């Protein structure tokens, strides 16, 4: 997993999804084999959702511009364009329950198991060590 690939998404889940809630929330990071040669990382939260977060941000005056996810997607594009890695990012997207109610936010990062030099997945191993 390239350095700083997950951090902006986890941080956004905390700052924009969980902290604005009146109750405790949860951020989950799940890593599992997606296909024989791929790893899927899912970062999800049970926070207020993207729409509510955007609405709250628009309601308060701020000159802060968050660039973490934009920079991460840019780095991913560079790695892909240099044929060093085939990383795919889906989201962030709202998650809805059966009743259509927003239940949080999710981003899925799909990575190759091997690094650009065939070095494996950055020291990650299946099972126990």
Name the residue ranges covered by the structural domains of the chain.
7-59+66-104
> Up-side HSE of residue 107: CA atoms within 13 Å toward CB?
23
Q: Which of 33-37, 54-58, 78-82, 112-116 has the lowest mean pLDDT?
A: 78-82
Query: Is pTM, for the whole model, over 0.75?
Result: no
Residue 75 CA to residue 81 CA, distance in Å, equals: 10
Instruction: Assign 36 a pLDDT band (cuts: 50, 70, 90).
Output: confident
Task: Reply yes or no on whether the pLDDT at 122 is more than 70.
Answer: no
Place of tokens 């889940």: 13
pLDDT at 68: 65
Asked whether residue 12 carries a pLDDT value surpassing 60, the answer given is: yes
pLDDT value for 115: 60
- Residue-wise pLDDT tens digits, 43-93: 999 999 999 988 887 777 665 566 766 776 777 676 666 655 688 889 999
SS (H, E, C) the chain: CCCCCCHHHHHHHHHHHHCCCCCCCCEEEEEEEEECCEEEEEEEECCCCHHHHHHHHHHCCCCCCCCHHHHHHHHHHHHHHCCCCCCEEEEEEEEECCCCCEEEEEEEEEEECCCCCCCCCCCCCCCCC
């Amino acid at each position: 997993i390239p350095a700083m690939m997950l951090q902006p998404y986890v941080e956004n889940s905390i700052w924009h999804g969980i902290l604005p809630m009146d109750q405790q929330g949860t951020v989950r990071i799940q890593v599992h084999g997606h296909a024989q040669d791929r790893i899927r990382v899912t970062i999800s939260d049970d926070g207020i959702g993207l729409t509510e977060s955007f609405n709250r941000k628009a309601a308060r005056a701020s000159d802060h511009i968050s660039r973490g996810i934009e920079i991460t997607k840019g780095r991913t594009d560079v790695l892909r364009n240099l044929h060093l890695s085939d990383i795919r990012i889906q989201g962030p997207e709202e998650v809805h329950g059966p009743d259509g109610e927003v239940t949080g936010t999710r981003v899925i990062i799909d990575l190759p198991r091997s690094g650009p030099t065939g070095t494996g997945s950055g020291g990650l191993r299946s099972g126990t060590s």
